[in-house]
C-alpha cells in the first residue's frame, strides 16, 4: 500500500473505481440523483413563506444525505458526545479513541482550571452582560490579555468572544478596498471572510511557497496602499508550518504587514509552545498581528489579537466585532488564563504531544499512508483522494471504536479528501498503534471490496 496508491488510488482498486465511475456516468448518475432528490417546484411553503429548502445549496445537502443513505453509512458530522471529549470519548454509550479534539495538551477538564472557572461563575455569573466598552469590563479580561502578551513576548493583546470573528473583524476593519491581502492558498476561512468584508483585493500564493509570494509582492505591491501577508503558524488541514524569518524579511522589504494565525500552533509549536517566533528564534514584536484562539490548547472559547500597544488600543476603540459585541464570559477568561499558567509550569505537555505525533506520523508512513506535508505535531492528515472513500473509511473506523472525521469536497479539493487526526498529549502509544492497525484494516477492506462509486450508483438506483 504505497503512498501513491492511497493518494491517487492505483492498481486494481483504481481500475475498479474508474470503471465504476464510467459505468455510473453512462447510467446517468445525475438523473438518479435528481430522482432521489428532485428540485423544488416552488420556492414558497404552503403557508406562503419562502421555502429555503428550494435553494440549490439546500438541495445539495439533501443529495449528500441521499449519498450517505445509499452507502449505508451514518453522517460523521454532529456526532453527540456523552461527556468530555479527550483522548477517549463516549458516543452513544460506546467508548472510542478520539482523534477529533483540539485539546492538544490535555488541559480541558483539568481540576485547577475547572475550579477557577467555577469560582469566576460564582463571582461574576455566566455572562458579563454587556460590551466591555460600556459595562462589560472585568479585571479577568485584562489579566488574560496581559498573560497572552507575556506568553508570546509582545506588548499587549485583546480578546474577543469568537476565534473566527477575531480574524473577520480585525482584517475587515484594518483594510480597505485600496489594499491587498496576499494569503497562503491553505489559509483559514476566517481570513478569507475578513478580506471579503474589507473589500481589499485578495491574491493567494502557493502553499508555503515564499518565492511565489515574493513574485506577487514584486508585481502588485506598488498598486496598493497597504499590503497584508496572511499565514498560519500550523495549518489545520495539513499540519505543516511556514518559515517565519524569511516571511519577516519579505514583509519588511516590501513594507507590508504580517498576520500569523496561531490558532493551532499555540502550545504546540516551539520548545515551550510559544509558536513560530520561538521555534525560529524571531523577535515576536517584528510581526504586526499574532492571532490565536482560546478554544484549543487554552481549553476555553474566544480569540485574540496580540501585538503592539497601539494596535490593541486601536482595535479596542474601533473594531466592530469588539466594540459592539458582549465581553468574554468571566469563566472563559479565567479558564484560558489558568491554562496559560499551567503551560508555563508544565512545558513537557507539548513535548509529549510531539512525541505521540511523531509516533503516529512515522507509523502511518511505514504503512504506506499519504500524510502529505504534516510535521507530525498536532495535525496529521491521511490523504485518501476520494470523498466517498474517506467517508466510508471513517464510518468503518467508528464501528471499530475510532472517532475521526473525514474532510471532503468542497472543504478540500476532491483529490485531497482525507481523514484528519488531531493528536493530544494524552494519547498513548497503544492508542496510536491500535488506531493505525484499524485504519489499515478498514482501508484494505474498503479498497479490496471495490466499494465507492459503484456501491453509490447501486444504492441510489435502489432508492430511485
Instruction: Give tens-digit pLDDT for 106-123.
Output: 999 999 999 999 999 999
Q: What's the pLDDT at 459?
A: 52
pTM for the complete prediction? 0.88
Instruction: With a cut of 90, say whether residue 187 has pLDDT above it.
Output: yes
Tell which wins on pLDDT, 458 or 45. Answer: 45
* Whole-angstrom distance, CA of residue 131 vs CA of residue 135: 6
Q: What's the pLDDT at 58?
A: 82
Q: Are 96 and 403 in contact (CB under 8 A)?
A: yes
Q: What's the pLDDT at 456?
A: 52
Q: Are 237 and 417 in contact (CB under 8 A)?
A: no
Confidence of residue 167 (pLDDT cuts 50, 70, 90): very high
3-state helix vs strand vs coil in the chain, percent to 5: 50, 15, 35
Overall average pLDDT of the 71-83 stretch = 78
Instruction: With a cut of 50, say whether residue 52 has pLDDT above it.
Output: yes
Q: Are 455 and 27 in contact (CB under 8 A)?
A: no
Instruction: With a cut of 90, say whether residue 3 has pLDDT above it.
Output: no
Instruction: Give tens-digit pLDDT for 240-269.
Output: 999 999 999 999 999 999 999 999 999 999
Q: What's the pLDDT at 32?
A: 56
Average pLDDT, the chain: 89
Overall average pLDDT of the 11-29 stretch = 48
**CB-based burial, 387-426: b 16+ in 10 Å, e otherwise:** bbbbbbbbbbbbebebbbbbbbeeebeeebbbbbbbbbbb
CATH 3.20.20.150 fits 111-345, yes or no: no
Overall average pLDDT of the 229-246 stretch = 97
**CA-closest candidate to residue 259, choices 303, 214, 289:** 289
Joined together, the cell numbers standing for residue 101 give 479534539
User: What is the third-level CATH fold of 3-15+55-101+349-463?
Assistant: 3.90.1150
Q: What's the pLDDT at 5?
A: 38
Tell which wins on pLDDT, 155 or 386. Answer: 155
State the Rg of the chain over Cα. 24
Tell which wins on pLDDT, 14 or 117. Answer: 117
At residue 421, what are phi and psi to the nearest 5 degrees? -105, 120
Domain boundaries, the chain: 3-15+55-101+349-463, 111-345
Residues contacting 76, CB < 8 A, separation 6+: 391, 394, 395, 398, 405, 406
> Rounded to whole angstroms, what are the CA distances from 358 to 74, 375, 381, 423, 424?
31, 8, 13, 10, 12
Q: Are 289 and 259 in contact (CB under 8 A)?
A: yes
Amino acid at each position: 500500500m504505497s503512498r501513491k496508491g492511497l493518494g491517487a488510488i492505483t492498481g486494481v482498486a483504481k481500475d475498479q473505481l474508474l470503471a465504476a465511475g464510467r459505468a455510473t456516468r453512462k447510467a446517468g448518475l445525475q438523473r438518479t440523483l435528481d430522482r432521489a432528490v428532485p428540485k423544488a417546484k416552488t420556492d414558497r411553503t404552503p403557508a406562503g413563506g419562502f421555502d429555503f429548502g428550494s435553494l440549490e445549496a439546500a438541495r445539495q445537502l439533501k443529495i449528500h444525505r441521499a449519498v450517505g443513505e445509499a452507502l449505508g453509512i451514518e453522517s460523521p458530522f454532529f456526532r453527540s458526545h456523552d461527556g468530555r471529549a479527550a483522548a477517549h470519548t463516549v458516543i452513544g454509550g460506546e467508548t472510542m479513541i478520539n482523534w477529533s479534539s483540539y485539546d492538544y495538551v490535555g488541559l480541558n477538564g483539568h481540576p485547577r482550571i475547572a475550579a477557577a472557572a467555577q469560582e469566576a461563575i460564582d463571582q461574576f455569573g455566566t455572562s458579563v452582560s454587556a460590551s466591555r466598552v460600556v459595562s462589560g469590563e472585568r479585571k479577568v479580561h485584562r489579566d488574560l490579555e496581559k498573560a497572552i502578551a507575556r506568553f508570546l513576548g509582545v506588548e499587549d493583546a485583546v480578546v474577543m468572544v469568537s476565534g473566527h470573528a477575531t480574524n473577520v473583524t480585525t482584517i475587515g476593519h484594518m483594510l480597505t478596498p485600496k489594499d491587498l491581502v496576499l494569503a497562503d492558498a491553505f489559509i483559514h476561512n476566517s481570513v478569507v471572510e475578513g478580506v471579503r468584508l474589507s473589500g481589499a483585493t485578495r491574491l493567494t500564493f502557493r502553499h508555503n511557497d515564499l518565492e511565489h509570494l515574493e513574485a506577487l509582492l514584486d508585481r502588485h505591491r506598488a498598486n496598493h496602499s497597504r499590503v497584508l501577508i496572511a499565514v498560519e503558524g500550523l495549518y489545520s488541514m495539513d499540519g505543516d508550518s511556514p518559515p517565519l524569518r524569511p516571511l519577516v524579511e519579505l514583509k519588511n522589504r516590501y513594507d507590508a504587514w504580517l498576520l500569523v494565525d496561531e490558532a493551532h500552533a499555540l502550545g504546540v509549536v516551539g520548545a515551550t509552545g510559544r509558536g513560530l517566533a520561538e521555534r525560529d528564534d524571531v523577535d515576536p514584536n517584528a510581526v504586526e498581528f499574532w492571532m490565536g484562539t482560546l478554544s484549543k490548547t487554552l481549553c476555553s472559547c474566544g480569540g485574540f489579537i496580540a501585538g503592539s500597544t497601539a494596535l490593541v488600543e486601536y482595535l479596542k476603540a474601533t473594531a466592530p466585532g469588539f466594540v459592539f459585541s458582549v465581553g468574554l464570559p468571566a469563566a472563559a477568561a479565567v479558564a484560558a488564563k489558568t491554562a496559560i499558567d499551567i503551560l508555563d509550569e508544565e512545558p513537557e505537555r507539548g513535548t509529549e504531544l510531539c512525541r505521540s505525533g511523531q509516533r503516529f506520523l512515522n507509523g502511518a508512513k511505514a504503512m504506506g499512508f499519504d500524510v502529505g506535508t504534516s510535521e507530525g505535531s498536532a495535525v496529521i492528515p491521511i490523504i485518501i483522494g476520494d470523498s466517498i472513500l474517506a467517508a466510508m473509511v471513517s464510518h468503518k473506523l467508528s464501528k471499530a471504536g475510532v472517532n475521526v472525521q473525514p474532510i471532503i469536497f468542497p472543504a478540500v479539493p476532491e483529490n485531497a479528501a482525507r481523514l484528519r487526526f488531531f493528536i493530544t498529549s494524552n494519547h498513548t502509544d497503544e492508542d496510536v498503534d491500535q488506531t493505525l492497525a484499524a485504519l489499515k484494516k478498514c482501508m484494505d477492506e474498503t479498497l479490496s471490496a471495490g466499494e465507492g462509486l459503484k456501491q453509490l450508483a447501486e444504492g441510489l438506483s435502489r432508492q430511485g
